[in-house]
Copies of this chain bind each other. A is one copy, B any other.
Amino acid sequence: MTKTIEFYFDFASPYGYLAAEMIEEFASRHGRQTTWHPMLLGAVFKATGGKPLTEQAMKGEYSLADFRRSAAYYGIPFKTPTTFPIATINTCRAALWMQEKHPAHAKKFMLELFRAYFRGDRDIGKLDVIGDVAKGLGYDADEVIAAAQSDDIKAKLKAAVDEAMAKGVFGAPFFFIDGEPFWGADRFPMMATWLTKGAWSY
C-alpha cells in the first residue's frame, strides 16, 4: 500500500492554497498518496491565543506582500481576496461531506474552492458560493448546501478539528510524513530531502 502524506489546511490560508496547488505533484514525485484534512485555524487560535498573520502588528503588511510574492515564486495564480480572512466553517463541512459521499472528486472540489477564493475573489464561506462550486463539478448545489448544514456533518467537523489539534496541528498548511510534523509551505524543500534521503536523526 502506498504510504500517505497527511495534509492539514484551512480554506482561508493563502499558504494552504499554495500547498494545495503543489501537494499532489509533490507526493506523486515521491511515490506517495495524500490525505487532505480541511480544518479550522480559528479553533486553534481560540485555544492558543493566536491571530491571523495579517492581524499581527508589523507582520500584516509583509504577509500580504509575501502571499503574492510566494505565489509568483511558485508560478501559481493568486489574487488577494477583498475580504480576508473569512470564516470557513461551511466550506469545511461541505468538503467533509464530499470526502464522505464522493471521495474520488473531493480533492478536486477542495482545490476548486481554494481557487474560487484565491483566484476568483469569491467568499467561499458562503453557502451559495459553495453550492456554485459544487455545481461547476456537476453536483446538485442544493444537496451540498443542505448536507453542509446537517447535524451529522457538523459533528464530523468538530471531531476532525479536535483530532487535528490533538495531533499538534497549530497552523496551516501542516503536514505529517510517517508521523513527522512539518509546518508551512516553505517546508517543501526539507520534506523533499526527508523523502529522498530518508529521515535523519536530530
**A201 partner residues in chain B, CB cutoff 8 A:** 72
**A48 partner residues in chain B, CB cutoff 8 A:** 56-59
**A48 to chain B: closest residue by CB:** B57
Q: Is the CB of B186 within 8 A of A59?
A: no
**A190 to chain B: closest residue by CB:** B73
Q: Is A183 an interface residue (CB 8 A)?
A: yes
Sample (25) of A-B pairs whose CB atoms are under 8 Å apart: A44-B58, A48-B58, A48-B59, A49-B57, A50-B57, A57-B170, A58-B165, A58-B170, A59-B170, A59-B171, A62-B168, A62-B170, A62-B181, A65-B202, A66-B183, A69-B200, A69-B202, A70-B190, A71-B202, A72-B200, A73-B190, A73-B193, A184-B186, A186-B186, A186-B187
